[in-house]
């Protein structure tokens, strides 16, 4: 399924990690996709197995070139090529085999926005790993003073004070040389965030625990939705809410994904708290020209 990034939300997919990889998000459960990956362990070009079609669809969703006319269960040259590109993007050995490292990375919680940058960063420094990206057309806000408010269709799974503090912290982190200001308001605002469950009216229903974490829209839409059924946390085991806030706000401001390991805009969520890396800061700086 092809994504029009300007219209469609950024879907934060949780592909929760299961044994034998201990780096799973605490409390996360296995999903059908992770079980499919486990069944494909060791598969390579020329082999057939149930689940190859699922892998092919997943790679296509992440922006890799695959031919969906191929036999569903055939691990052909096209799937191998797409998998090698996935492995290269995520700094894995480009074996083209569904190996343990690939399964581990694919099973990590992640954002559903495609890995492949639509618009790479302009004028990259050849001596630095600057791999931020933007949405088609590089949309951005026309002002630096933005307002935000909380609006949920279901009760918050966290205390509202904790939610508001995490969002305030994340907005504060994204301030760049004091150019951006983010002010919480009680009514009409530029950015609206909150918790929702199932079909919540934007055409992208949440699917319960260990599925979609959150989604957001590119500038200047401003909507940011979190799945109320996830095991969110602000100070313990579970999905670190503030880290996900930082990632989603990056998209709200106009950033796509980065393949710099450890960047907040890296598409995978490794189960640890993160903050902005230099690549994230450079991406925002170059998008807005300051």
Query: 239-276 burial by CB neighbour count: b if 16+ within 10 A, else e?
Result: bbbbbbbbbbbbbbbbbbbbbbeebbbbbbbbbeebeb
How big is the chain by its Cα radius of gyration, in Å? 19
Residue 68 appears among annotated catalytic residues: no
Closest CA relative to residue 14, chosen from 157, 187, 198, 227 = 227
Q: Is 242 annotated as a binding residue?
A: no
Q: Is 225 annotated as a binding residue?
A: yes
Q: Is 257 annotated as a binding residue?
A: yes
Q: Is 208 annotated as a binding residue?
A: yes
Q: Is 279 annotated as a binding residue?
A: no
* Cis peptide preceding 162, ω within 30 of 0: no
Q: Mapping DSSP to helix (H, G, I), strand (E, B) and coil, where does residue 73 land? A: coil
Contact present, 226 and 238 (Cβ < 8 Å): no
State the number of CA atoms in the 13 A half-sphere of 171 facing the CB. Answer: 20
Q: Given 80, 104, 242, 248, which residue is catalytic?
A: 248
Q: Is 167 annotated as a binding residue?
A: no
Q: Is 91 annotated as a binding residue?
A: no
199 phi, psi to nearest 5 deg? -75, 110
Q: Is 227 annotated as a binding residue?
A: yes
Q: Is 111 annotated as a binding residue?
A: yes
Q: Is 215 annotated as a binding residue?
A: yes
Q: Is 207 annotated as a binding residue?
A: yes
Catalytic residues: 248
Annotated binding site for Ca(2+): 190, 207-208, 210, 227, 230
Show binding-site residues: 111, 190, 200, 202, 207-208, 210, 215, 225, 227, 230, 247, 251, 257, 265
User: Which residues fall in the annotated binding site for Zn(2+)?
Assistant: 111, 200, 202, 215, 225, 247, 251, 257, 265
């Amino acid at each position: 399924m092809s994504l029009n990034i300007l219209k469609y939300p950024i879907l934060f997919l949780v592909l929760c990690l299961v044994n034998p990889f201990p780096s799973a998000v605490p409390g996360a459960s296995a999903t059908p996709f992770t079980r499919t990956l486990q069944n494909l362990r060791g598969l390579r070009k020329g082999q057939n197995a149930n689940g190859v079609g699922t892998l092919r669809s997943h790679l296509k969703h992440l922006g890799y070139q695959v031919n969906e006319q191929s036999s569903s269960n055939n691990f052909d040259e096209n799937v191998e090529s797409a998998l090698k590109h996935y492995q290269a993007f995520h700094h894995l050995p480009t074996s083209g085999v569904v190996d343990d490292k690939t399964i581990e990375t694919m099973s990590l919680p992640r954002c559903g926005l495609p890995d492949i940058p639509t618009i790479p960063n302009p004028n990259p420094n050849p001596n630095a790993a600057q791999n931020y990206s933007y949405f088609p057309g590089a949309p951005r806000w026309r002002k630096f003073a933005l307002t935000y408010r909380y609006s949920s269709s279901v009760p918050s799974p966290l205390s509202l004070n904790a939610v508001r503090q995490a969002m305030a912290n994340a907005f504060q982190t994204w301030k760049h040389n004091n150019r951006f200001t983010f002010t919480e308001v009680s009514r009409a605002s530029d950015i609206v965030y909150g918790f929702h469950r199932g079909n919540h009216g934007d055409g992208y229903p949440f699917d319960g625990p260990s599925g979609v974490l959150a989604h957001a829209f590119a500038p200047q839409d401003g909507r940011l939705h979190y799945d109320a059924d996830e095991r969110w946390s602000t100070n313990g085991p579970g999905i670190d809410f503030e880290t996900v806030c930082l990632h989603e706000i990056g998209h709200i401001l106009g950033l796509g994904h980065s393949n710099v390991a450890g960047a907040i805009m890296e598409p995978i969520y490794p189960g640890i708290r993160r903050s902005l890396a230099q690549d994230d800061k450079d991406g925002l700086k170059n998008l807005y020209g300051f």
